[in-house]
């Protein structure tokens, strides 16, 4: 008896090993992509990860010397989303920095303007992570 590919958009015959379920690697990928989309896992892999990567790129653009101060409006105009970050770090003074991978930021007031203090992840910070 011939086995048929289990991908719903395919009706080709499956050849090869007895336990094979798909007719091709394309059908296997498509099947698992549909399954992930139904489960909601795609949201995190696409939407959130895209925002994180964009945030990191924007921070890196302005943080060329591992410490910088930038007006908040400038980053927001470029599409920076401060609500999406990978982790945070508190220094010994209790200041909390939010990070997008290796690029960190902290909201500050400077001359009555909202700004971000940008920092780069440093060796030794992991000892103080909360």
Write out pLDDT tens, residues 53-64.
Answer: 999 999 999 999
Q: Rounded to 10 degrees, what is the CA torsion of 102, 96, 117, 70? A: 90
Chain-centroid distance, C-alpha 26: 26
Write out pLDDT tens, residues 22-50.
Answer: 999 889 989 988 887 787 666 666 788 89
> Measuring CA to CA, which residue among 116, 76, 110, 73 is closest to residue 96?
116
pLDDT of residue 128 exceeding 90, the answer is: no
What global pTM score does this model have?
A: 0.65
């Amino acid at each position: 008896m011939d086995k048929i590919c289990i991908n719903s958009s395919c009706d080709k015959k499956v050849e090869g090993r007895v336990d094979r379920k798909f007719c091709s690697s394309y059908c296997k990928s498509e099947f698992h992509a549909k399954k992930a989309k139904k489960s909601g896992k795609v949201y995190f892999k696409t939407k959130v990860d895209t925002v994180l990567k964009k945030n990191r790129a924007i921070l890196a653009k302005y943080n060329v010397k591992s410490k910088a101060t930038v007006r908040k409006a400038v980053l927001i105009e470029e599409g920076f989303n401060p609500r999406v970050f990978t982790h945070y770090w508190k220094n010994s003074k209790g200041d909390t920095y939010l990070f997008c991978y290796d690029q960190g930021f902290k909201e500050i007031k400077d001359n009555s303007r909202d700004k971000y203090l940008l920092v780069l992840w440093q060796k030794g910070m992991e000892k103080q992570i909360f």
